[in-house]
């Protein structure tokens, strides 16, 4: 029988297309807008993963089908040591499934709330790893747009990983984006002002994250949306009392230069590749061996205690008390007629395609752009930008004006996130469909399973 494992319920064909029957369902560890996240074990390899499942009905009701497809496509393009990578994708009649690297260390919000603030040597290490991941994404022409402590997960060793690509997009190299997307407290001024932005917004968000981790408060805040917008776009950057005791001069300089409202002079924004040289060459990172760091050979200064849960254990209780229907294996209806399906269901069937990292080459869905018009970032930092045409994006956009709780995209979350920063997405222009995918060389890295 070779690849077939027989059990008392359903024989599993491991040589066939991946589906939920390839996995044993273990504990629930997170909750999002459209479904839950749980630990699963691959029945043949015995490797543990995080399974994020998206309820199709809820997804359609909240007009987020394009979001889910966009996230599915972007994740197929990505494979990096400091990103929560996609390993499998598939669907059944009720759900779409992402099988991702398992992170047992919890998210940075969880640890920030537990510890109060994070010592600067830990923040420096995490920031270096995050910088490596951000530079990689930008090289792939991807801007995350929702970098915050909630979307940064630790593995069992203490390495950070970016997750939740729910509002991430391919940025255009010939048009600035104007759609408002992300979580307001972490948005760059050029996003809030809707004057046009590109990949530089992720470096601003990293600055907010680093500041919040060190000082346990954000540099710009407000009780209302208007006050927060004003603070982000106008208020001076003021270090808190006793800042010198918490963060060295070099660290303060690094974060301050990330929080430059002028995207052309912001640290990391001299170009997609040259900007990273400025990051690596900063004095705050003088102790970082970047080759060892990228190889995950540096010892993290903080190792999470995985003997206790680094997430909210109440997610399992919901199923135990039958508050919601638990996830179960279910066979697909045979011979479904796509022509008779509702348009949104058909779109999911056709575009949320199966992916298996052991069998499939990673594909790029990046649109074939016209000759680029520089926005001033890729060229000299002091050069004036050329005229550009503002555009919402050149990839799929959600049709909803608000995307609820992008935490649903996180492989492991600490809470149900009521009261947390809710990501916003307000598209400002027409959708532009991606061009047909083109293959890129296969990746050879192994899953980063904790």
Catalytic option among 146, 164, 260, 421: 146
Q: Which two tokens stand for residue 327?
A: 């996830």
Residue 46 labeled ligand binder: no
DSSP string, 354-416: -EETTTPPPEE----PPSP---SSSS-TTSPPPP---BS-SS---SSS----GGGG-SS-SS-
Round to whole Å and give the CA distance between 152 and 142: 17
Query: Tokens representing 435?
Result: 């061009």
Strand partners, 438: 364
Cβ atoms of 163 and 85 within 8 Å: the answer is: no
C-alpha neighbours within 13 Å on the C-beta side of residue 256: 14
**Helix/strand/coil percent split, the chain, to 5:** 30, 15, 55
Give backbone dihedrals phi and psi of 28, rounded to 5 degrees, phi first: -80, 135
Burial code (b: 16+ CB inside 10 Å, e: under 16) for 80-118 equals bbbbbbbbbbbbbebbbbbbbbbbbbbbbbbbbeeeeeb
Whether the CB-CB separation of 376 and 385 falls below 8 Å is answered with yes
Active site residue 146: yes
Instruction: Kindly list the distances between the CA atom of residue 334 and the CA atoms of 46, 296, 338, 347, in Å, as whole numbers in the listed order.
Output: 29, 45, 12, 18
Structure tokens at 207: 């600055």
Residues serving a catalytic function are 146
Query: Residues within the annotated binding site for ATP?
Result: 52
């Amino acid at each position: 029988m070779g690849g077939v494992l027989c059990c008392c319920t359903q024989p599993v064909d491991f040589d066939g297309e991946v589906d939920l029957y390839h996995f044993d369902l273990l504990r629930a560890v997170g909750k999002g807008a459209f479904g839950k996240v749980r630990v699963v074990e691959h029945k043949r390899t015995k490797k543990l993963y995080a399974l994020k499942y998206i309820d199709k009905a809820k997804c359609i009701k909240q007009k987020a089908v394009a979001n889910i497809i966009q996230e599915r496509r972007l994740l197929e393009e990505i494979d990096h040591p400091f990103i929560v990578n996609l390993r499998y994708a598939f669907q059944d009649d009720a759900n779409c499934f992402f099988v991702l690297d398992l992170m047992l260390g919890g998210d940075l919000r969880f640890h920030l709330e537990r510890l109060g603030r994070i010592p600067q040597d830990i923040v420096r290490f995490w920031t270096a790893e995050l910088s490596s991941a951000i530079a990689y994404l930008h090289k792939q022409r991807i801007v995350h747009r929702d970098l915050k402590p909630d979307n940064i997960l630790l593995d069992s060793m203490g390495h950070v990983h970016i997750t939740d690509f729910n509002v991430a997009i391919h940025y255009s190299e010939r048009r600035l984006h104007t759609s408002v997307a992300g979580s307001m407290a972490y948005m760059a001024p050029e996003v809030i002002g809707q004057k046009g932005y590109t990949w530089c917004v992720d470096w601003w968000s990293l600055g907010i994250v680093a500041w919040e981790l060190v000082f346990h408060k954000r540099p710009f805040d407000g009780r209302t949306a208007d006050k927060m917008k004003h603070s982000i776009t106008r208020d001076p950057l003021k270090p808190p009392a006793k800042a010198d005791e918490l963060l060295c001069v070099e660290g303060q300089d690094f974060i301050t230069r990330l929080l430059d409202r002028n995207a052309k002079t912001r640290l990391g924004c001299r170009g997609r590749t040259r900007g990273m040289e400025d990051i690596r060459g900063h004095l705050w990172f003088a102790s970082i061996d970047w080759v060892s760091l990228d190889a995950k050979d540096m010892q993290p200064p903080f190792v999470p205690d995985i003997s206790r849960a680094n997430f909210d254990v109440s997610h399992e209780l919901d199923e135990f008390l039958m508050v919601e229907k638990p996830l179960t294996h279910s066979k697909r209806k045979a011979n479904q007629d796509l022509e008779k399906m509702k348009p949104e269901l058909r779109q999911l069937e056709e575009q949320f395609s199966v992916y298996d990292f052991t069998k499939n080459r990673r594909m790029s869905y990046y649109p074939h752009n016209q000759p680029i018009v520089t926005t001033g970032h890729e060229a000299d930092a002091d050069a004036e930008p050329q005229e550009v045409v503002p555009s919402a994006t050149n990839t799929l956009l959600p049709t909803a004006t608000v995307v609820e709780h992008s935490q649903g995209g996180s492989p492991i979350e600490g809470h149900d996130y009521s009261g947390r920063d809710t990501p916003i997405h307000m598209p400002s222009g027409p959708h532009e469909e991606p061009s047909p995918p083109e293959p890129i060389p296969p990746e050879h890295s192994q899953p980063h399973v904790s």
